[in-house]
Amino acid sequence: MNQDAVRKSRPDFTWEHTELLRYKVEGSAPFRNVTRQVLFDDIAGGAQWRYFEVAPGGWSTLERHQHTHAVMVLRGRGRCLVGQQVREIAERDLVEIAPMTWHQFRAAEDAPLGFLCLVSCDRDRPQLPDAQQLRALRDDPAIAEFLEGQDR
Amino acid sequence: MNQDAVRKSRPDFTWEHTELLRYKVEGSAPFRNVTRQVLFDDIAGGAQWRYFEVAPGGWSTLERHQHTHAVMVLRGRGRCLVGQQVREIAERDLVEIAPMTWHQFRAAEDAPLGFLCLVSCDRDRPQLPDAQQLRALRDDPAIAEFLEGQDR
């Protein structure tokens, strides 16, 4: 582990002494073109501070869980689904995801969507929607349009 | 409290539904030209996520405490003192402040220094250096130069 108090950032939104990771194991959940970096682990009373980057046209997993997410967009733009809301998001916008709220992040077609995401180190596993839950989400035309073109 | 999951950022680095606060009560500790915004409170298992902005030529309090800080520069540039290190910092650089480590942030003369800072909601009060501790810090010429021009 790095002993230096400062880790410099690079122009490509990676950081010194910080590993560029896969978002999740391929095939474990639906997603497209997402990377993950853990910026600080077990900090500030047990939090993990991550940076995710969704490449243009990519998207994170549609999921929900008991733990909360605190999110700030750091790079680019895109849209997010949070509960029943589909919202445009861009640099420095804040997103708070409450417990058991369906959520997903999608990058614009022509820009990445990079965001900071804070969670507790001690957290539950995400749940994926089943067919009935997906149908219920798609009953809302705005959500149906948001989800269009994804594998599920 | 705002019920919307998304809070948009403004060009001046303030946010919707987020109060622009004083850094500390004036006179309670030495500092110059610093503002504070609490972006998320009691999130991710008990963390508080803040944004501080030091105006050009300003500086945060020189202090130490048992709790840790996880910091990311969001705007501008400046320098920080962390323990015995004086470092240049700029956008997206990460700073980790370990327990009981003297630290201070100074903005450049011609640019602000805005940074995200994560702490536990449950934390101890900062300690200020006494005259002897200040002398010990100033024994290092790099630190003496860093601290120059401050009231203490």
Q: What is the CATH number of the domain that holds A77?
A: 2.60.120.10
* Nearest chain B CA: its distance from A94 CA (Å): 5
**pLDDT (0 to 100) of residue A25:** 79
Cβ <8 Å between A68 and B92: no
Instruction: Check CB contact under 8 Å for A89 and B6.
Output: yes
CB contact under 8 A, A45 and B92: no
Note whether A6 contacts B93, CB cutoff 8 Å: yes
Give the contacts of A120 (CB within 8 A, at least 6 positions apart).
A46, A47, A48, A67, A68, B44, B45, B46
CA distances to A55, A71, A77 from A20, in Å? 14, 19, 21
Residue B86 lies in a domain: yes
Which residue carries 């180190």 as its tokens? A121
Would you call A5 and B49 a contact, using CB atoms and an 8 Å cutoff?
A: no
Among A45-49, A146-150, B69-73, B135-139, which is the least confidently predicted range?
A: A146-150
> Are B77 and B34 contacting, i.e. CB atoms less than 8 angstroms apart?
no
Hey, which residues of A are catalytic here? 117
Largest CA distance in chain A: 52
- Find the closest chain B residue to A41 by CA distance: B70
Give A1's pLDDT tier (boundaries 50, 70, 90): very low
Nearest Cα residue in chain B from A89: B8
Q: How confident is the model at residue B1, as a pLDDT?
A: 43
Q: Which of B34, B82, B107, B117 is catalytic?
A: B117
Residues shown for chain B = 152
pLDDT at residue A77 is higher than 60: yes
A101 is a domain residue:
yes
Query: What pLDDT was estimated at residue B26?
Result: 77
**pLDDT value at residue A5:** 95
Q: Which domain holds residue B126?
A: 21-147
Domain assignment present for residue B15? The answer is no
A18: in domain: no
**Residues in chain A within 8 Å Cβ distance of B53:** none
Within 8 A of A40 by CB-CB distance, chain B residues are 70, 94, 96, 118
- pLDDT for position A42: 93
B6 in a structural domain: no
pLDDT of A149 higher than 80: no
Reply yes or no on whether B117 is catalytic: yes
Contacting residues for A57 by C-beta, under 8 A, at least 6 apart: A32, A33, A107, A109
What residues of B are in contact with residue A96 (Cβ under 8 Å)? Answer: 5, 7, 40, 43
A83 belongs to a structural domain: yes
CB contact under 8 A, B70 and A82: no
Quote the pLDDT of residue B24.
Answer: 83
pLDDT averaged per 10 residues in sequence order, chain B, 152 residues: 83 96 83 94 94 96 95 98 96 97 97 97 94 95 89 48
Token representation of residue A122? 């001690």
Let me know if residue B16 belongs to a domain: no
CB A152 within 8 A of CB A29: no
Assess contact for A113 and A73: CB atoms under 8 A. yes
- Which ipTM value was assigned to this complex? 0.93
Q: Does the pLDDT of residue A15 top 80, yes or no?
A: yes
| CA distances to A65, A70, A92, B59, B121 from B78, in Å | 39, 27, 20, 9, 27
* pLDDT for the residue B3: 67
pLDDT of A29 reads 81
- Determine the Cα–Cα distance for residues B140 and B137; give it in Å rounded to an integer: 6
Whether A8 is in a domain gets the answer: no
Measure in Å the smallest separation between the Cα of A78 and chain B Cα atoms: 13
> Per the structure, how many domains does chain B have?
1
Question: Residue A2 has what pLDDT?
Answer: 52
pLDDT value at residue A123: 93
H/E/C letters for each residue in chain A? CCCCCEECECCCCCECCCCCEECCCCCCCCCEEEEEEEEEEEECCCEEEEEEEEEEEEECCCEECCCCEEEEEEEEEEEEEECCEEEEEECCCEEEECCCCCEEEEECCCCCEEEEEEEECCCCCCECCCHHHHHHHHCCHHHHHHHCCCCC
